[in-house]
Amino acid sequence: MSRVLKLLSPVMLLGLTLTGCTGNLLESKVEAPQVYVLRNTAAGTASTAWPVQLSIAISAVAPGLDSNRIAVLRNNNQLDYFYGARWGGTAPQVVQSFLVALLQSQQGYRNVVADPARVDADYIMDVELRQFQAEYTGKSDSPVVQVELAATVFEVKSRKTVATLHASASAPAKENRLSAVIAAFQLATQTASMDLSEQLGARFSKTLLK
């Protein structure tokens, strides 16, 4: 046995020594981040049910927002992220899922799906996520959440643009706590999404009733 050990290099001996304690090395004491989602709570039904299938895509995202981290803007242009908190997906995925759920709940279309999906959509709403962050402006200790969406709606068959939409909303957090900030994200996202939905319905009224 001693002869075998003499033939082993110091690196190999170190590897053998660490083998028995890798379990401790891999056990992190850092707390897992809190994971948050946004849920549509809007009630009501669209006045008209269009016999079309609508697909929702997020094609463009402002720099710094294509992440599952929760963005915060400080001193007007310093982008940062809340420590120990994450979205359940990237910010574009969170907004896309929210829009799909809201439009489905309004029952204004035969079906609403997230793009890409294995369905033949009649129309695609291509959304740009311009703002999705909390901002500390200095006017208050609590941040204000800003959500801004811009969308182009086009008919798949003809590739013709039928609508160009824009919606934005802001919601102040009631206190400087993460739970209050998430509640503000919920409110601002719902307000902007409802605005986008109403604009889309108005445009379809003009387009599909011709």
Separation between Cα atoms, residue 208 and residue 175, nearest integer Å: 45
Reported as a single tens digit per residue, the pLDDT across 173-188 is: 999 999 999 999 999 9
Q: Where are the domains of the chain?
A: 33-208
Is this structure's pTM higher than 0.85?
A: no
Residue 23 has pLDDT above 90, yes or no: no
Strands 123-136 vs 144-155: parallel, antiparallel or unpaired: antiparallel
* Confidence at residue 107, expressed as pLDDT on a 0 to 100 scale: 83
Reported as a single tens digit per residue, the pLDDT across 64-109 is: 999 999 999 998 789 999 999 999 999 999 999 999 999 999 888 9
Question: What's domain 33-208's superfamily in CATH?
Answer: ABC-type transport auxiliary lipoprotein component (3.40.50.10610)
What average pLDDT does the segment 145-164 reach? 95
The amino acid sitting at 100 is: V
Separation between Cα atoms, residue 62 and residue 48, nearest integer Å: 33
- The C-alpha angle with vertex 73 and arms to 67 and 74, in degrees rounded to 5, equals 145
Average pLDDT, the chain: 85
What would the two tokens of residue 111 be? Answer: 């079906």
Burial class (CB in 10 A: 0-12, 13-18, 19+), 194: middle
Separation between Cα atoms, residue 195 and residue 147, nearest integer Å: 12
